[in-house]
């Protein structure tokens, strides 16, 4: 009998330990850093498919979007951030709020479907933004682009989703060299970052967007392969992103794998471990 009671207490203590570990992990994830895997190529070559990073949630303060969404379709689990922190939603403000800076690489919650996106902040509240012949115009002035050679990668399926890259050098068979033009873009505040160009695309020329107060305009660095603020929400794009939808700033890549699984150690990109996000 004593042995059974001891075993029962041991099970209870194990459950309590697991519960407390989950609580601590949830608090850490909500208040400080959120893990984020790069699922697509929209931020190449700044971020590659398979990069793993922690998002700094302290950068911009906290809103309902700071609470994690837990989605595991295989078991039917779908807990949205609004289910937990919806009481913070609706006023487009933040607790301990800090202003993002132009050029920050930001993870934010899509204003309509709630999916987490990662893009670069291009347009601030009150700015006008337009793209003309692939060149961004901010408040009527072109953002300088300096040619920076060619970005190359192996053509083939990438990451868990098996996405194939688009190439400037035409249709490239599996195992071939996929090329894109590379430029260094210098934003009005002096932030320099890499962008890629595949060729002439519909979003190389846009109308003029006027960023509303309390909202931001985001673009992917892989300009011809990014769903971002250039496409309105009514057409399936991102549109303008409210201040309260910001989750945090991406500062550093912690780990990177170029394969379909993080356990395929032969695909690890050691040169990207602990690399700063610029």
Retrieve residue 146's tokens: 């300096």
Q: Are 177 and 154 a contacting pair, CB within 8 Å?
A: yes
Instruction: List all residues 6 or more positions away from 82 whose beta carbon is below 8 Å from its beta carbon.
Output: 64, 89, 114
Alpha carbons 243 and 246: distance in angstroms, whole number:
6
Q: How many helices (H) and strands (E) does the chain have?
A: 2, 17
Q: How far is CA 150 from each of CA 25, 45, 143, 197, 201, rounded to the nearest angstrom?
A: 42, 11, 20, 10, 18
| 3-state secondary structure labels for all residues of 104-171 | CEEEEECCCCCCEEEEEEEECCCCEEEEECCEEEECCEECCEEEEEEEEEECCCECCCCECCCCCCCC
From the list 121, 151, 147, the residue with the least C-alpha distance to 134 is 147
What residues are labeled active site? 42, 119
3-state helix, strand, coil in the chain (%, to 5): 20, 35, 45
Instruction: For residue 33, count other CB atoms closer than 10 A to its CB.
Output: 17
């Amino acid at each position: 009998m004593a042995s059974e009671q001891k075993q029962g207490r041991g099970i209870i203590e194990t459950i309590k330990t697991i519960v407390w570990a989950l609580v601590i992990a949830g608090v850490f994830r909500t208040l400080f850093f959120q893990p984020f895997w790069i699922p697509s190529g929209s931020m190449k070559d700044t971020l590659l498919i398979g990069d793993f990073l922690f998002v700094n949630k302290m950068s911009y303060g906290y809103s309902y979007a700071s609470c994690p969404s837990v989605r595991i379709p295989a078991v039917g689990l779908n807990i949205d951030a609004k289910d937990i922190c919806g009481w913070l939603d609706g006023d487009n403000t933040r607790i301990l709020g800090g202003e993002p800076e132009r050029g920050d690489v930001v993870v934010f919650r899509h204003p309509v479907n709630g999916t987490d996106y990662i893009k670069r902040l291009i347009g601030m509240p009150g700015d006008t933004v337009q793209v003309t012949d692939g060149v961004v115009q901010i408040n009527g002035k072109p953002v300088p682009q300096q040619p920076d050679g060619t970005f190359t990668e192996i053509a083939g399926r990438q990451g868990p989703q098996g996405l194939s890259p688009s190439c400037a050098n035409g249709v490239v068979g599996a195992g071939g060299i996929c090329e894109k033009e590379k430029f260094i873009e210098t934003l009005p505040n002096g932030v320099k970052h890499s962008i890629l160009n595949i060729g002439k695309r519909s979003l190389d020329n846009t109308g003029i967007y006027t960023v509303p107060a309390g909202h931001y305009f985001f673009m992917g660095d892989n300009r011809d392969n990014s769903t971002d603020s250039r496409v309105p929400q009514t057409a399936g794009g991102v549109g303008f992103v409210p201040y309260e939808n910001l989750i945090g700033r991406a500062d550093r890549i912690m780990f990177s794998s170029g394969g379909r699984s993080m356990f395929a150690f032969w695909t690890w990109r050691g040169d990207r471990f602990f690399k700063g996000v610029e």
